[in-house]
Structure 1
Amino acid sequence: MDLNHIIESYRDEIIRSTQELVAIPSVEGEPQPGKPFGEDVYRALDYVLTLGRRLGFETKNVDGYAGHIEFGQGEKMLGILTHLDVVPEGSGWTYPPYGGEIHDGRIYGRGAIDDKGPTIAVLYAMKAVMQSGIPVNKKVRLILGTDEESGWEDLKYYFKREAVPDFGMSPDGRYPIINAEKGILHIALCKKFSSGQKSSIGIEKIYGGQRPNVVPDECICVFGPGVDREKLIKDIENLKSKSGYTIEVELGDRDTVIVKSIGQLAHASMPEKGKNAIGQMLLCLSALGLGYSEMERFIAFLSEAIGMQVDGQSMGLALEDQLSGKLTLNLGMIQVDSQVGRAVIDIRYPVSFEEQEILARIHMVADMHGVEVEVLDHQGPLYVPEDHFLVQTLKKVYAEQTGQPAYTVAIGGGTYARAIKNAVAFGAVFPGKPEMAHQRNEYIEIEDLMMNAKIYAHAIAELVK
């Protein structure tokens, strides 16, 4: 039977399964026994494994860190790596972020495109290949991660206990084929402040951002008691009219003034698509006139070295290559009070550069201001040559199923493809479609969901026949 007809026969199941999975708010939570990333992340993992068993596959839960669903036989293994955790939903949604509601042919909800819809598409693609009776001479394993949006502790744990696939793909990027992914470096810029110093303009604390890999949409600065509230509010209003910054001011308890910077969420791999609320706050505070306390000097350093920049130019990081393009930088989190300042940065660097070269450039700037640099996480770049059999096969499948030209692209995003050798990102966002991952009102179009399932079914069949 034709694979596409089989997939169409699953249409209602694919839609319903995607809705049910999106309805689970699988943001990382407090660890519990057997549930290392919290109750809701475990619920998502259990849901998909249960669905896999119901569809006739062998499944395994690896201590709540990850799981897999598989069929086929042979010495070689095709791995398809997806994830079930999501970033926090943020604010300002038109539809409930965990409603899985359908509007205008789209399933809305956090994780709909990143990466729950594609996970369901792969699962039913596997079912279609198995039902079709196409001869399979390799194992096909869908690996379900649960910590992709944070530290990848899931796959680190999983691959210490389970076989590593010989080659694979991850449906967590864009079509046609992503064969190059930039290196990802998360660092913290930190400085401890001497006791007894006070901000000359009354800053008590600053906080904002949810994760390094998300462009922050909110940053708060609290001005303490004793600040000239009328002057402060007037100065901010004048600054807003001149700069176009989106700033809100309200009176807090204890005679404090709360200043809120409003930005636009986006994925850190494309920071230019968002509006960084932390950077906007730093520039606003600098424009108000910072003093010379250690806290204010730290704020001024961040404002001058980063501000609203997304290319790292003032940090000496304006780098690029032909394979993967320009370096990007996102100031994702900040925490400043009278004792310490800490800013967390996400850097995506071109594939031809090395981690140590990036760090050396950062140290040159940070050391001059007495700011410490702490490496939080690093993932090396990914590159699979275009003449590799995997790339050539997926190009063929994509062109045949869509009627569109197939080509390779490079991204700043970090997919699970880099977790194994000989792997690429393949879908699930089609050319010309907006990138909704990590954004409010995230969705997947139902017809795109179905086309993904068809493409993945043909890809699996071609790669394992």
Structure 2
Amino acid sequence: MSIDFEKEVLKRKDEIIKDLQELIKINSELTTFDPSRVGAPFGEGNKEALDWMLALGKKDGFKTVNVDGYAGHIEYGDAKEFVGMIGHLDVVPAGNDWTYPAYGAEIHDGKMYGRGTEDDKGPTIAAYYALKILKELGVKLSKRVKLILGIDEESGWRCVRHYFSKYPESPVSGFIPDADFPLIYAEKGITRTVLKSSFIDERIIKLEGGFRDNMVPDFAEAVLVYNASYQQLFDKYVKENNLDATFKEENNQINIRVKGISAHGSLPELGKNAIDLLFDILKALKIENNLTLLADKYLTHDNYGKKLGVNYHDEEMGDLTVNFGVLKYDGKDALIYLNLRYPNNVNYDKDVLPKINNEIKEFNFVATVEHHQQLLYKDPNSEMIQKLMNVYKKHTNDVDAKPLSIGGGTFARAMPNVVAFGPHFLDKPSYIHQKNEFIIIEDLIKATIIYTESLYELAK
């Protein structure tokens, strides 16, 4: 069967844009997780996004399933073997200082702005339309195709764990539309490493920074008991270091707030960590305690774990990275979330965690692991990868392209026989997990073309 995939996608361009705009307007940031909240364990916004997507599938004549409000799927065909995709509809917090509304889905200069446009609602819509086009063309396939929808990818993957407990089948092939083109064959291991301690510092009422460990924090603040010396020390340090920070005195308290620049937690070097900057200010104010000393000696201004002695470089997969993502201290209990990502040849449980604990015990802190995604590695020469690469090359003329290794983590770890595949083109800017996230409309359409033909090649 001869199909002009580009023509078929372009015929539906306006429809694709309209549906993505509707989905972006749903704020699906995780609020709280409550398994007793029937049908909405991840909150109403995440429920609304899942319901909206399943309703779209049902309207277009697909079989749809909602798995207890945790996840769902849209399915085409009846064959035993299937080709699988997983997209996610949850988003990281929007953060601050957007040029256009984070949930406005406004289009300016050929770009749609909004949280989730590239990560991962835009790619999920592209994958959905790839499936829809094959159905509308009546293409005969030898395999089922199933688009699984998660709503807890950014927070803990409880959605897919629950889904696969109810639908444990594995695909024969597939892809995850939540990374980069040309294709991802390896992903670093990822941990949420939590550092805890308890101590009293009567000078501090509160320290807080960051939204999620997998985002470089773009804000941090300190609420301090009033001290007449702080203003002059603050002004001098901020001026000398050209920081974007404010100092407010009110009700015998001082509020200090510092701004940074957010970035994805897998690439902390691309951001400006506001928590690091806050600790620099506290040091300038001559505030010392176990927390500030720990941060200065082992954590701040170090994206590669050199201060902790856990730095490592792998020729194929790159560096171990550490993102100081979240800080909380209420005058008594201190909590730090590190997003630590490691390449091949690193044994996190045997080598890294014990090393961290050995260092931080000096300041009475203890490190534990709250979440761990094991490293992923697929043979870049496999038949499936070659099929996907060939489709990518056909529609981009990027004939010398090679599959990639990344520090990000995708749902490719959630089921076997799949790899991460697009939608981001490496020669274009990306603002995922940052303010002003957008997707270039032309790239969204190009990704849809690639996904449509790729599904056909895998399932025909």
Asked if TM exceeds 0.5, the reply is yes
Aligned position for 2:332: 339
Show the counterpart of 2:317: 324
2:214 matched residue in structure 1: 213
Q: Which amino acid is the alignment partner of residue 36 of structure 1?
A: P
User: Which position in structure 2 is the counterpart of 1:77?
Assistant: 82
Q: What is aligned with 1:122? A: 127
Runs of 4+ with >6 A deviation: none
Deviation at 1:198, TM superposition (A): 3.8
DSSP-derived class of the 2:307 partner: helix
Once the two structures are superposed, the pairs formed by residues 372-411 of structure 1 within 5 Å of their partners are 372-405=366-399, 406-411=401-406
**1:107-256 paired onto structure 2 within 5 Å:** 107-162=112-167, 163-193=169-199, 197-199=200-202, 202-225=203-226, 227-228=227-228, 231-252=229-250, 254-256=251-253
Structure 2 counterpart SS, 1:314:
coil
Report Cα offsets for 1:160-216 as digits up to 9, x if no partner: 0012323321111111011110000101111111xxx545xx332211111111111
Residues 201 and 332 in structure 2, CA contact (< 8 A), matched pair in contact too: no
Q: Does 1:22 align with 2:24?
A: yes
Deviations 1:107-137 (A, max 9, x none): 1111011000111111111111222333311
**1:10 corresponds to:** 12
Give per-residue Cα distances to partners, 1:382-406, cap 9 Å, x unaligned. Answer: 1101111121111101001111133
Q: CA deviation at 1:260?
A: 0.7
Distance 1:169 1:103 in 2: 30
* 1:68 matched residue in structure 2: 73
- Structure 1 position 308 matched with structure 2 position 301: yes
Shift of 1:369: 2.7
Which residue identity is paired with 2:391? V
Contact map agreement 2:195 2:367 (CA 8 A) in 1:
yes
* Preserved contact between residue 2 and residue 132 of structure 1 (Cα < 8 Å): no
- Per the alignment, do residues 309 and 246 of structure 1 end up closer, same or farther by CA in structure 2, a change over 3 Å counting? farther
Q: Secondary structure at the match of 1:366?
A: helix
Say whether 1:437 aligns with 2:444.
no
Instruction: Output the amino acid matched with 2:223.
Output: V
1:368 CA drift (Å): 3.0
Letter in 1 for 2:407: G
**How many angstroms apart in 2 are the aligned matches of 1:41 and 1:386?**
35
- Specify the SS of the correspondent of 1:386: coil
Stretches of structure 2 that go unaligned for 5 or more consecutive residues are: none
Determine the C-alpha separation between the residues in 2 that align with 1:423 and 1:362: 33
Question: Per-residue displacement from partner, 1:130-160 (whole Å, max 9, x unpaired)?
Answer: 2233331111110100000101000010000
Alignment partner of 1:233: what SS?
A: helix
Deviation at 1:314, TM superposition (A): 0.2
Q: CA deviation at 1:40?
A: 0.8
Instruction: Tell me the residue number matched to 1:464.
Output: 459
Matches of 2:50 and 2:136, distance apart in 1? 24
* Matched AA of 1:215: V
Q: Calculate the TM-score normalised by the size of structure 2.
A: 0.96
Question: Any conservation in 2 of the 1:168–1:417 contact (CA below 8 Å)?
Answer: no
User: Residue 56 of structure 1 aligns with which residue?
Assistant: 61
C-alpha separation between the residues in 2 aligned to 1:281 and 1:300? 13
Cα distance change on mapping 1:402 and 1:233 into 2, 3 Å? same
- Is the contact made by 2:183 and 2:421 (CA closer than 8 Å) also made in structure 1? yes
Summarize deviations over 1:405-461 as a string: whole Å, max 9, x none.
331111111111111122211001002111211111111111111111100001001
CA contact (8 A) 2:171 2:417 kept: no
Find the aligned partners of 1:286 and 1:339 in 2 and give their Cα distance. 19
- Counterpart CA distance in 2 for 1:381 and 1:77 is 25
CA contact (8 A) 2:192 2:340 kept: yes
Give the conservation status (yes or no) of the 8 Å contact 2:290–2:364.
no
Matched position secondary structure for 1:410: strand
Secondary structure of the structure 1 residue equivalent to 2:120: helix
- 8 Å contact from structure 1 (residues 3, 129) kept in 2: no
CA distance in 2, matches of 1:269, 1:168: 24
CA shift at 1:352, angstroms? Answer: 2.7
Normalised to the residue count of structure 1, the TM-score between the two structures is 0.95
SS of the residue corresponding to residue 47 of structure 1 reads helix
Task: Give the whole-Å Cα distance in 2 for the aligned partners of 1:321 and 1:76.
Answer: 37
Percentage of pairs with the same residue? 39
- Shift in Å at residue 287 of structure 1? 2.9
Question: 1:299 aligned to 2:292?
Answer: yes
Residue identity in the other structure for 1:6: E
Count of paired positions? 452
